[in-house]
Amino acid sequence: MSYYKHHVFFCLNQRANGEACCADHGAQAAFEHAKARVKSHGLAGPGGVRVNKAGCLDRCAGGPVVVVYPDETWYTYVDQHDLDEIVDSHLRDGQVVTRLLLPPNVGR
């Protein structure tokens, strides 16, 4: 058994050179929203869910990007509704949100 059931990483990378990046899509606010929702649902902590900031996850073309481990599930999202669905369906209920899956061929 791992320390956390799910470990969630939000790309918050900012690129100064004008290249695509998750920070340009409100990633910091998304991270804060998801972290608060996980906590409000009582999912946070050992044996539950840990939501973390990450640097570049190298999938910029699909940004903003979040990945859930150990499930190796990559998501993209548009708004807080999408994040709520990821928290409620995947992290709480164990059901992957297929409509938000990042296609496997999307990279930088």
pLDDT per residue as tens digits for the range 53-108: 999 999 988 989 999 999 999 999 999 999 999 999 999 999 999 999 999 998 87
Q: What is the pLDDT of residues 41-58, one digit of tens each?
A: 999 999 999 999 999 999
pTM, two decimals, is 0.93
What percent of the chain has a predicted confidence (pLDDT) above 90? 85
Are 50 and 44 within 8 A, CB to CB? yes
Which domains are present in the chain? 6-100 (3.40.30.10)
Identify the pLDDT of residue 16. 85
What are the residue ranges of helices labelled H in 20-85?
27-40, 80-85
Q: Which of 22, 6, 28 is nearest to 86 (CA)?
A: 6
Identify the pLDDT of residue 1. 65
| 41 vs 102: CA distance, rounded Å | 25
The answer, yes or no, to whether residue 20 has pLDDT greater than 90, is no
DSSP 102: P
| 13 vs 106: CA distance, rounded Å | 17
